[in-house]
A and B are shown apart, each in its own frame.
Chain A
Amino acid sequence: MIAARAHHGSAALRHVVLIASSLFILMPFVWMVSLSIKSPQEAFQQTISLIPSVFYGHENYQRAFVDVPLLRFMGNGLLICISVLVIQLAIAAPSAYALAKLEFRGRDAIFAMVLVGLLIPHQVLAIPLFILFNKIGILNSYASLILPGVISPFGIFLLRQFFKAVPDDLIHAARLDGLSELSIVWRIMVPSSMSAVIAFSILSVVSRWNDLFLPLIFIQDQQLLTPPAGIMLFRSEEAGNSYGPLMAAATLIVAPLLIAFLIAQRRFIEGLTVSGLK
């Protein structure tokens, strides 16, 4: 094995390659943070420096909160992420259990529908959902951002794969103990598939927090915007002349997920791998 590895070229070459690609990846992050702590004068200076001679971060970050309701945007984002995730799990887990462990007429047809749902890009639904939400009067509300996410074919599929691996004996024993089917789901299936639940939760929150498409379509009221749509609004209002506060806002929007990722790196990467390879 060691002999095989030695073939892969020298350690130095490996670092050169990986440092180069790391620089490419990190470039926008570094420039964003650098501009967020520079004064306007220094931002427009033609010299290239990452660390400003005068630290202007305080002013920029303060203005990011004052110029737009950034805190509100982030609160909205958090509220939507949590609501969607809780409803998604509450709906997906019982049906994943039924699809994995119960025999009933129509099961294969329902599972086929889940698979079809898995393949439909959510942008395809924008027009019909816009019409539907307009009809029932929930356009421009939190509900219009939550409702499209509550059904997750991916969540059902992923949990079903994991639930299938739970031994049937466990379920029979639970039934003999008088547990209802629903308590089997929550007390046996979900706890024994925590890695899938966590993986799904991470993917759900990341995609919801980062989504620009839905808020751009369904939300008009500034107070209801989520961070991605909020920062777009900020940029168009500032018309390109106050980069400091704009970059400060971008940094703050990107930070929560990146910090969570750096803290629980293995969880995030495992989650992604598990969901990809199952």
Chain B
Amino acid sequence: MMAISTFSNQRALQKYNTRDTISAYALVGPSLVLLICLLIGPSLAVFAISVTNWQFGAQSFSFIGLQNFRELFDDRVFLSSLSNTFIYVAVVVPSVLGLGLFVALAIESRKEFQAFYRAVHFLPVMATLAAMAIAWEALLHPTIGLVTRLAVQLGLGSWNFLHDPRLVLATLCVIGVWQHLGYAMVLFLAGLKAIPSDLYQAAEIDGVDHPLDRLRYVTLPMLGPVIMFLLIVITLKALETFDTVAVLTQGGPENASELLLHTLYVESFQFFRTGYGAAMTVVFLLIVIAIIFLQAKVLDKRVHYS
């Protein structure tokens, strides 16, 4: 009797019944298997490959510990790629957020042509970047480029935006801003719409009249969650920049436009230095993880309107 009641109590305490668990796993099974085989497993495999000297196609390879990582930090191409990537992110992310907010505020401030301006600014988000990179090349081309011609006609001299090592990274930054601006704008517009208008009225009663003050005391705090989300997403998008480098510069001239993902691609899939490329991938992944944690931690405290 005792034993039976304990047993049934245990059954009652058990949250899950077997039948439900089986049907749940039947539903979730395909996802689980693919998640492990195509995402989690390969991500872990990168770490394993990064401590070998494997070259794709070679018959054998051996464990070399952290040798690849040591070599990475002596590799001039990698080091300039790393610093270029940080510069690129440091320029593109604040510019996209700042300009995105500015454009969103301008669009939101009045009714006329709202849909038109919004659509225009959103076009680059949809457009195939590899194709648009070629359009940018034509725009900046020394002989057929519209921008270069305008510069000459305005007496600003001749420029070679994509082949001058001093200009090339800045040029890629401009294209990066062009590409992501619309994404930030759309999310800011949604965020602005969600701000209740009586908040502005309340602020006005409290003597907050100046538009800049309203921005500072009402709009920006209310946009906190959107800003945090965008900060993470745009940073990741900027870190993952590949198409413009691959199509326009291949990292040149003099590695001045080498960005992490392109360097990784060249080492792994053009030189087939698999182990070395994996080490670079690990560094890339660690940077991504560090940024996500850092921003989530720092910003989590500030986003909520206290």
Binding site for B on A (CB under 8 A): 1, 4-5, 7-9, 11, 14-15, 17-18, 21-22, 24-29, 31-32, 35, 43-44, 46, 48, 91-92, 94-95, 97-99, 102-105, 107, 110, 113-114, 116-117, 119-121, 123-132, 147-148, 150-151, 153, 156, 181-182, 185, 206, 209-210, 212-213, 216-217, 227-229, 231-232, 235, 243, 246-247, 249-251, 253-254, 257-258, 261-262, 265, 268-269, 272-273, 276-277
Contacts and interface: CB of A to CB of B under 8 A. Distances in A.
A110 B130 contact: no
A31 B135 contact: yes
B27 A119 contact: no
Given A113-B40, A231-B128, A261-B122, 19 more contacts: A5-B110, A14-B106, A18-B106, A22-B117, A25-B124, A27-B147, A125-B46, A127-B278, A130-B56, A132-B42, A216-B246, A216-B269, A228-B131, A243-B144, A254-B131, A258-B126, A269-B118, A272-B183, A276-B190
Contact of A104 (B21, B112, B138, B139): B21
22 contacts: A4-B200, A7-B214, A21-B181, A25-B120, A28-B136, A32-B138, A99-B28, A121-B284, A126-B265, A131-B274, A181-B26, A210-B129, A210-B130, A213-B242, A213-B265, A216-B246, A235-B247, A243-B138, A261-B123, A265-B115, A273-B190, A277-B229
A105 B120 CA distance: 49
B38 interface: yes
B14 to A, nearest CB: 9
Interface of B: 15-16, 20-21, 23-28, 30-32, 34-36, 38-43, 45-46, 49, 56, 99, 102-103, 105-107, 109-110, 112-113, 115, 117-132, 134-136, 138-139, 143-144, 146-147, 149-150, 153, 178, 181-183, 186-187, 190-191, 197, 200-201, 204, 209, 211, 214, 225-226, 229, 233, 236, 239-240, 242-243, 246-247, 261, 264-265, 268-269, 274, 277-278, 281, 284-285, 288-289, 292
Contacts of A121: 236, 239-240, 284-285, 288
B38 A147 contact: yes
B143 A44 contact: yes
A130 B55 CA distance: 13
A166 to B, nearest CB: 15
A64 B138 CA distance: 16
A29 B129 CA distance: 12
Interface of B is mostly: helix
A43 B144 contact: yes
A130 to B, nearest CB: 7
A246 B197 CA distance: 50
A121 to B, nearest CB: 6
Contact of B27 (A94, A123, A153, A210): A94
A277 B190 contact: yes
A86 to B, nearest CB: 14
